[in-house]
Chains A and B, each alone.
Chain A
Amino acid sequence: MIRRAASAPVVVLGALASAGACAGPSAPPLVQPGAPGQPARVVDRDAARAAPAHSEADVHFMHSMIPHHGQALEMVALVPSRTTSEAVRAMALRMEISQRDEIAWIERWLRSHGAEMPVHGDHAMTAPGMLTPEQMGRLRAARGDEFDRLFLASMIQHHEGAITMVRTLFATSGAGQSSEIFQFANDVEVDQRIEIERMRTLLQGGGR
């Protein structure tokens, strides 16, 4: 899926120092340096538009992230009626809003890249870290301190799944190459790591 620019028409700089002349009255040529020690070259203006396209793995990552985030929202929705901890309540609210923002961004990305929206539940059970129906059932049934412990442990598992998804994405050849995907996936990893640390602290009784 990667469009390669390597085959783009290029010319050695010295040979076409006036290449810019054909592009406009005063625009200088687009120069592409080489690796250290290698010469620069002039790049054709159309070729300069080449950029890594999104790959199938990128689309799969984005598709999987929707049900994954969707389950996080289901878990978060259980919090207000079951928790007794202000810290867990506050954390859940933060998560709800950030996960909603992320889902909206993913949907916008999928739309603008012509990738079909997933059928709900399509990737759900294949996404790492997802809670099984049994785990969700236990969480639903729990109350008070027991709920808080179970919620934090489950959400850590769930978030670690998201980090695994990001790591898998970046470990897949051709994936995570567009700036949008790189930035989004990187942010998911950073944010979920922070929340995991925070939840571990709360689990150990260090929270307010």
Chain B
Amino acid sequence: MRGRNVVVSAMVALLGAGSGASAQTDSVPGPQPPRFEWDPNDPRLGLAAGWMDAATAIRGLEHVASIPRPEGFFNPATPDDRTVINSDLAFRGDLLYQGNYQGFQVFDISTPSEPDLVLTVLCPGGQGDVSVYGDLLVMSAQETRGRIDCGLGGVADSVSAERLQGVRIFDLADMRNPRQVAAVQACRGSHTHTLVTDPDDPEHFYIYIQGTGGVRPAAELAGCSNTRPEEDPNTSRFRIEVVRVPLDAPERAEIVSMPRIFADPTTGAIAGLWPGGDHGPGTQETRETTQCHDITAYPEIGLAAGACAGNGILLDISDPVNPVRVDEVVDPNFAYWHSATFNNDGTKVLFTDEWGGGTAARCRASDPPTWGADAIFTRTDGGPMELAGYYKLPVPQTDTENCVAHNGSLIPVPGRDIMVQAWYQGGLSVVDFTDPRNPFEIAFFDRGPVSQEEIYLGGYWSTYWYNGRIYAAEIVRGIDVFRLTPSEHLSEAEIEAAELVRVEQFNAQLQRRHTWPAAVPVARAYLDQMMRSGRILEARAAELRSLLERAGAGRASEAELRQAAARIESDVAAIRAGTLGGDAERLGRIAEVLRSLAG
């Protein structure tokens, strides 16, 4: 969330013609965004309102748990007391870390349907986005009330050594005695942050600080400067801060660089990217690129994707201290580049647009489906990003529901690019973007508005897949847990294969490559996909299905598995030679699984 209370709704009025609901086409010439269309029978339409008792609609999911915010993290008088709202999530082992403007909560999720609150930590500062690295937890603080000592009473003096706007590092090795080990100050505070690792340096990890607030006075934090770069080349705007954290001495965490990642490589001008403004008649007004809202690092491919107000950028992070911008894009439909997610093989980047800042209703019937949406870019052979398509929550929400594209993560279904994504009060939507030109929804959950009279901040901040379940952070309603259920769009085997993928820790902004074990459900998932697309010989499909059933029950012999693998490999060769139709890629992966099963 950008943290806006009131939001530029001017676009809506300006949009007029583009909304599809108005007849002002002649007043705003030029290309118009497409019209929003939806299924009139969608069960998400007309859900009854309520803070903790709103009506719900669900498809392709089972809702297995719902845990309200615990004591200390909610105000019974009002849902949207902004001092205690929930923010982002992180995971490690059996633990879920729920960030909050007031601190964080830790749940034991060893039984995912029964999250058990094990630790509540008060340390105000907002947004309270959290990441974990081993026993260390990193948290963002951006508000002027943030105190170095985690105090609740704010900081009385306008210039004070007691204030903390930046990142905090906690040591949670002893869960009964969490210790703050470092508090790193930053000139614009920390709205979000990103953990970055260097595959060649296991002794350290890095934190990229994304500050979006006003610049602090130099009297409070030396060196902070709020001027334009033309006037002061040391301005605190137009940069990120890189913190190096020694794993054996996290208390020595410090800022080691402040890269000018928006600089023009030719002129060297610090403000080298989008200057702010619209892109011509009928287009969105896009913010100036003075900051990144969020960066997602993917160290295994040496890249990070930055969603940086006015641009989407790619950074080479092979040297994490000195990230180098290697690509940038603009989009005439984007108001504010907010977050980014790579697909598993790094050939696609899905960027989100937080039009309206997250506190405004931007999924109404009158809002265009390309505004406040996801934009999916493709990269071929490491080349520049190219726009392929858009995805937006495919059903309108009411005008008292804050709604726009927000945080999500990949669901590791082999052979497909699937993401579960939060849309604030629009609920969660599971989207398949395997074909980036035609993304489509395969599951959803939605609640009615917190109120139908007034717009209260609420809904999902983040929805992430972690070791077999979807965990959803509701800003004012707590945590929801979901399990995928089979549907025409997703088979039982595909779900089983996704549930087989296990990771030790999860931070949405530090992507790790998913790999799948050589297991029957994985082969079956590929087979299901080929049967769905009609890209396999029916006879071969029947044979394989039967073999995989027997293999799953431990009744297939090694010889049989090898024989089947050999037959498939010869099919693959024939397909590659152009003498047989079919899906060589998926067949090849099935053959690998069979060979592995044969031992």
Contact = CB atoms under 8 A, between A and B. Distances in A.
Interface in B140-173: 143-145, 148-159, 170
Interface in A18-71: 23-24, 26-40, 43, 45, 47-52
Interface in B263-287: 275-278, 280-281, 285, 287
A23 B9 contact: no
B288 A197 contact: yes
Interface stretch (B122-130, B483-491, B546-554, B561-569): B122-130
B214 A30 contact: no
Contacts of B101: 179
A105 B11 CA distance: 18
Contacts of A101: 6-7, 9
Nearest to A51: B83
Given A40-B178, A175-B158, A184 B122 contact: no
Interface string A80-103: 000000000010011111100110
Most buried by A among B144, B182, B454: B144
A173 B179 contact: no
Interface stretch (A127-135, A142-150, A154-162, A164-172): A164-172
Contacts of B156: 2, 4, 173-174
A5 B151 contact: yes
A115 interface: no
A97 B13 contact: yes
- Please tell me the size bucket of the interface on A: 35 or more
Contacts of A201: 275, 277
Contacts of A31: 119-122, 177-178
A98 B145 CA distance: 27
B82 A32 contact: no
A50 to B, nearest CB: 5
Given A45-B72, A52-B154, A173-B157, A187 B6 contact: yes
A93 B150 contact: no
A41 to B, nearest CB: 10
Interface string B96-118: 00000100000000000000111
Contacts of A6: 151, 153
B122 A179 contact: no
- Please tell me the size bucket of the interface on B: 35 or more
A74 to B, nearest CB: 18
A38 B182 CA distance: 11
B68 interface: no
Contacts of B259: none
B180 interface: yes
Given A98-B10, A101-B6, A191-B8, A179 B143 contact: yes
A36 B251 contact: yes
B176 A17 contact: yes
A125 interface: no
Contacts of A191: 8
Nearest to A13: B177
B315 interface: no
Contacts, number: 199
A14 B181 CA distance: 18
Contacts of B144: 170, 176-177, 182
Interface string B167-197: 0001000001111111100000000000000
Contact of A40 (B3, B6, B179): B179
B31 interface: no
B217 interface: yes
Contacts of B177: 13-14, 31, 39-40
A125 B184 CA distance: 42
B86 to A, nearest CB: 13
Contacts of B178: 31, 33, 40
A177 B122 contact: no
B14 interface: yes
B7 A36 contact: no
A128 to B, nearest CB: 16
Interface in B38-86: 70-72, 75, 78, 82-83
Nearest to B213: A186
Contacts of B152: 5, 8, 32, 43, 47-48, 50-51
A176 B151 CA distance: 16
B288 A2 contact: no
A186 B159 CA distance: 17
Nearest to A167: B214
A93 B158 contact: no
Contact of A4 (B8, B153, B278, B454): B153
A146 B172 CA distance: 64
Given A93-B10, A182-B144, A30 B251 contact: no
Contacts of A182: 126, 143-145
Nearest to B75: A49
Most buried by B among A2, A29, A102, A182: A182
B179 A23 contact: no
A179 B126 contact: yes
Contact of B179 (A27, A33, A177, A186): A33
B5 interface: yes
Most buried by A among B6, B183, B277, B285: B6
B576 interface: no
B481 to A, nearest CB: 18
A102 to B, nearest CB: 5
Given A13-B176, A198-B277, A180 B72 contact: no
Contacts of B149: 34-35, 38
Interface string B402-425: 000000000000000000000000
Nearest to B184: A36
Contacts of B158: 170-173, 175
A32 B277 contact: no
B375 to A, nearest CB: 21
Nearest to B228: A197
A178 to B, nearest CB: 7
A59 to B, nearest CB: 16
Contacts of A120: none
Contact of B154 (A2, A17, A37): A2
A141 interface: no
Contacts of A5: 151-153
Contacts of B513: none
Contacts of B75: 49
Interface string B3-25: 11111111111100000000000
19 contacts: A2-B153, A2-B156, A5-B152, A13-B176, A27-B120, A30-B120, A32-B123, A32-B152, A35-B149, A40-B177, A50-B153, A98-B8, A173-B156, A173-B157, A177-B145, A183-B143, A187-B5, A201-B275, A208-B278
Given A102-B6, A179-B145, 5 more contacts: A13-B177, A23-B71, A28-B120, A97-B8, A184-B5
Closest 6 pairs between A and B when the two form their complex, measured CB to CB = A52-B154, A94-B10, A5-B152, A177-B154, A179-B82, A5-B153
Interface of A: 2-6, 8, 13-14, 17, 23-24, 26-40, 43, 45, 47-52, 90, 93-98, 101-102, 104-105, 108, 112, 166, 170-180, 182-184, 186-187, 189-191, 194, 197-198, 201, 208
